[in-house]
């Protein structure tokens, strides 16, 4: 009985450790099961020889949507330009816009999604969260999501703190908030992937992160429909 309890405890510990390192998520992706070999040899042999092993994950485990900031060798800016010129930006469907903006951080891990949520500062219900919060230590490089012109780089009086707005043309804008410092000025043209700022926690923010917004004709939309 004692042995069983000990073994069970060790198993749980391993599961928690996997979740904490993010390795747990690599096994959920097809074709990468072999990567578990680095985690634990017993599980690795099971993964290689048998059916997909059950993956333990704490309910609180962070879902990691990691991807590279520059993810394609094609010309993503001309793809975006074509999309924006082909039709009114307001009528573009997610199936067309998905993937046309580049990641504003090297690693995108959602801390708080776009849409209605409990306000993290006031605890109030039903607050509309105008952007997507991504995990970012203060001082992390922030990239322009696409080519465009900087139309604002300054203090946002409504909570954004140090904020940059990039106009991509045809009614599409992206904004970057709570920054610790700027690398660009108003009027400057930027290329996709340029480091335009360092992340921070200025303005209405409970800790270091990047609040990223996508605006279509002045209205915020879910950034995940464009990333
Ligand atoms: Zn936010």
What residue spans in the chain does CATH classification 2.70.70.10 cover?
A: 72-225
Q: Give the residue from 208, 174, 178 showing the smallest Cα distance to 103.
A: 174
**Ligand 1 centroid distance, CA of 26 (Å):** 27
**Ligand 1 centroid distance, CA of 44 (Å):** 39
Give the pair of three-digit tokens for residue 158: 């409504």
**Ligand 1 centroid distance, CA of 160 (Å):** 8
What residues are neighbours of ligand 1 (ion), with CB under 5 Å? 133, 211
**Ligand 1 centroid distance, CA of 52 (Å):** 37
Q: Is the pTM of this model over 0.85?
A: no
**Ligand 1 centroid distance, CA of 7 (Å):** 42
Arithmetic mean of pLDDT, 190-217: 97
Residue 154, C-beta contacts closer than 8 angstroms, at least 6 positions apart: 162, 163, 186
CATH of 72-225, one of 1.10.3720.10, 2.70.70.10, 3.10.580.10, 3.40.50.720: 2.70.70.10
pLDDT tens per residue across span 107-165: 999 999 999 988 888 888 888 999 999 999 999 999 999 999 999 999 999 999 999 99
18-21: Cβ within 8 A, 24+ apart: 18/55, 18/56, 18/57, 19/56, 19/57, 19/58, 19/61
pLDDT tens per residue across span 35-67: 433 333 444 444 444 455 565 556 555 555 555
């Amino acid at each position: 009985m004692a042995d069983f309890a000990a073994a069970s405890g060790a198993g749980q510990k391993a599961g928690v450790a996997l979740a904490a390192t993010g390795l747990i998520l690599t096994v959920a992706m097809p074709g990468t099961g072999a990567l578990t070999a680095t985690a634990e040899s017993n599980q690795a042999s099971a993964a290689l020889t048998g059916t997909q092993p059950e993956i333990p994950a704490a309910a609180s485990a962070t879902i990691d949507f990691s991807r590279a900031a520059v993810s394609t060798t094609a010309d993503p800016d001309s793809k975006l330009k074509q999309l924006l010129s082909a039709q009114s930006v307001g009528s573009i469907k997610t199936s067309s816009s998905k993937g046309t903006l580049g990641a504003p951080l090297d690693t995108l891990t959602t801390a708080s999604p776009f849409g209605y949520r409990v306000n993290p500062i006031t605890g109030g219900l039903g607050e509309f969260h105008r952007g997507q919060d991504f995990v970012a230590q203060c001082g992390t490089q922030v990239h322009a999501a696409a080519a465009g012109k900087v139309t604002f780089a300054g203090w946002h009086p409504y909570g954004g703190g140090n904020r940059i707005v990039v106009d991509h043309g045809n009614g599409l804008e992206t904004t970057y908030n709570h920054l610790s410092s700027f690398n660009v000025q108003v009027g400057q043209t930027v290329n996709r992937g340029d480091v335009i700022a360092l992340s921070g926690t200025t303005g209405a923010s409970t800790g270091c992160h990047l609040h990223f917004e996508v605006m279509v004709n002045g209205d915020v939309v879910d950034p995940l429909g464009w990333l």
